[in-house]
Amino acid sequence: MTARRRFFSIGVCAALLCGALPSLARAQRAPDLAAFDRYVAKAARDWRVPGMAVAIVKDDSLVFAKGYGVQTLGKPAPATEHTRFAIGSTTKAMTTAALAMLIDEGKAKWDDRVIDYLPDFQLYDPYATRETTIRDLLTHRTGLGSVDLLWAVRENQYSTPEMVRRLRYVKPTASFRSTWQYNNVVYSIAGLLVEKLSGMPWETFIRTRIFTPLGMTESIPLVAMLASQPNVSTPHALDGDSVVIVPIRSTDAVASAGSVWSSVSDMSKWMRFMLDSGRVGDKQLIKPATWREIIAPQIRAPMAEYPALELAKPNFFSYALGWFVQDYKGQTVWMHTGSIDGQCAIIGLIPDKKIGVYVLENLDHAELRHALMYQVFDLYNDAPKRDWSGDLRALFASRQARRAAPAHVTGTQASLPIDRYAGTYTDSTYGSVVITNDGGTLHGRFEHLDLGALHQWEYDTFRGTSPARGDSPATVSFVTNGSGAVTAVRFYGQTFPRARGR
């Protein structure tokens, strides 16, 4: 090589190196977590979240953990990184991990049939009864839509075995294995399998095989265990323009689908466990091949599941075993949300970068959680600045405006004399709605739930004086046949046909 050529090569290399230095510097720049802290505090006020907590992990370290606001509106106790919130359906990944451990022990396989372990398992479709596997349960592809009415009304909660028994009466809303349909009750069957295969209740297995080895000392597997615990957040919801306290709803009937309460401090340990391929310290709790199966996409999930995807614009959105899997800026993301009355959660992991974020809030469906997940992802991607909180608030405001409730039609009358609405309306799955006529005023009862007096609202729809669920008044719509008879009632999204002769 001549001196001139050597000089040219060195010059080119120097130029390339100089051009690369700014990019390298950007890639190595540490995220401004102090600015993120200020951002979260302001966003919490914007979204009117009474209390929340956020944790971020990078590689095998907890790099950020902080609480904001208060545990209970109007009381001074602060929400901290150690405050317990309901983690909701992010519990499902723990149930999957429990089954993975039992699979590693040779006690089952992902594609084993449920009926081989739980002989009483029966669905409406005989083929689905015979062929439903553990994998089918964990991917919401049994063909069944939501059956939450089996447990969501606290007065009528059935035991898990009784809920499973009643599934045989539920007609499928999709062909077996064709469509993703979220179903908490089906996921509770996975908890029965954990008990069957391990010989211990699901909650005991979760505590001894997951919480203890991971050092998750602030995590509670059942709502029934909360009463004696300190540092517990209170659920809140929006009632018109006000934030109000709402009762804690027990999810213990579907525990393996969503009953865990925890702190972001504890959930940071869970995130590190998942990012480290099912390992804690030098202990491999889940074999690598089994762990990989957990986060492998199994079925396409609908983009409409999360409005935030309109802004994130992933190329794919799938469901694995207790995890959603999507892409974001060219990287794979594992995530899941959790929601139960007055509490919500989100977990988001970027495995290639060993990044995890977990958000807990004590306001019903406060979608600030999605904003903070993407905000953290952008911090570590060194992406252009974006106000995810502001953009998502605008998106939800726009959707709310388009989805305005239809106006109440005043001045209408019931189409039939009051006494013709009285009767018993029965569904094989959910039980009976009994309507009585007491001196010209209808009264309703849904199994053990008193709906109170029912007053005509519009046309053949009546509203009760007692709540049907949470703090909402019961709404009962009567279905008439045009010949002077009532054939059914619509209540909480279900049709209850009139019992013959009643």
- C-alpha 482/C-alpha 343 separation (Å) is 44
Residues 6+ apart with CB under 8 A from 423: 434, 435, 486, 498, 499, 502
Asked whether the beta carbons of 173 and 193 are under 8 A apart, the reply is no
Q: Angle of helix 184-198 relative to helix 92-104, nearest 10 degrees?
A: 30
Give the C-alpha separation, 408 to 279, whole Å.
56
Strand partners, 239: 242
Rounded Cα–Cα distance for residues 261 and 255 (Å): 11
Q: Where are the domains of the chain?
A: 47-402, 418-497
Element (H, E) at 61: strand 61-69
Residues linked to residue 455 through DSSP beta bridges, in sequence order? 463
SS3 content of the chain, % helix, strand, coil (to 5): 35, 25, 35
**Three-point CA angle 388, 396, 81, nearest 5°:** 50
pLDDT in tens, 106-157: 999 999 999 999 999 999 999 999 999 999 999 999 999 999 999 998 889 9
CATH number of 418-497: 2.40.128.600
Averaged pLDDT in 10-residue chunks for the chain of 502 residues: 38 40 53 97 98 97 98 98 98 98 98 97 98 98 96 90 95 97 97 98 98 98 94 95 94 97 98 97 96 98 97 98 97 97 97 98 96 97 90 92 76 94 96 96 94 94 72 85 94 92 66
Span 354-369, pLDDT tens digits: 999 999 999 999 999 9
CA gap 158, 296 in Å, rounded: 33
CATH tag, 47-402: 3.40.710.10
The pLDDT > 70 percentage for the chain reads 92
